[in-house]
Structure formats: C-alpha cells, structure tokens
Amino acid sequence: MSRVINPNSAGKERTKLTRAVALAVRELAKTNPSANAGQLNEARDLAAFIALALEIVAETIEVSVVAWEKRNYWVKADKFRMEWHWAGQLADQMREATLKDDWANVAQIAMQVAIKLQKIKISDKHRMGRPWQGSWKKLAS
C-alpha cells in the first residue's frame, strides 16, 4: 500500500494565510478609519481578518510539530514553536484592539505583524482577491 498524502497540509494553509495577512496589513496601512464610514468598515474587516487568520496560523503550529516530536526531533519542534509564538500573541492583541476600536494600537500591532512577514512578496496582480470581507461580523459575533 502506498503513502496517503494530504494536499491540504497545515504548512500549506499557514503559507496561504500568511500571504493573505501580509496583503491585509498592506491594505490596512492605506486606510484611514477616521475618514468616513466606508473606510471604517474596511479597516474593521482588515483588522478582524488579521486577528482571525493569525489565530488559525497559531493553531497550525502544533499540527506541524507533532510529526517531528514523533520522530524525537524535540529541538527542531521547540525551535519552530518559538519562531511562530508571536502569531498567537499578536492575534490576541489584535482581536482586543479591534473590538475596542483602538486604532492606534491596531496600527502598532499591524506594524509588528508586517515586520514578521516582511519577507513575503506579493505581486500587484495577485489572485487572492479580498479574503477579509465579512471578517468583522465573524469577529464581533
């Protein structure tokens, strides 16, 4: 019997989400939530998406590490956890700041996320669309 390969691995999901978060951070930097209601709604969607996506990224870390721990690669597993520990922390901070409409803090957290994801390159002709639309409703409920 041959190996069963899961095409939707945690690593692929993490890569997809980090690219989308990097795009959302760049779009958030362009918005001004105090300008008008339309930009406020867009900024809320972007910030909520960043929080929700980072929470999912943080959940994928343990899934990835389990396989290494089964093979007794504890150092590699711990190093990977430490490299991605920021995702859960910044997700919680972003969630709290977004729900409070604390835009100064949202901007600061978004900058920290941007620094962590600065190596991600996204072309102007990407096909990701606008994955953050409707995220505010998910976060607020």
- Does residue 50 lie in a domain region? yes
pTM score, two decimals?
A: 0.88
- Output the CA–CA distances (angstroms, integers) from residue 36 to 10, 29, 43, 95, 103, in the order listed: 38, 16, 11, 22, 14
Domain count, the chain: 1
Q: What is the pLDDT of residues 22-60, one digit of tens each?
A: 999 999 998 887 778 878 899 999 999 999 999 999 999
- Does residue 74 lie in a domain region? yes
What's phi and psi for 9, nearest 5 deg?
Answer: -75, 165
For residue 99, give its domain range: 10-119
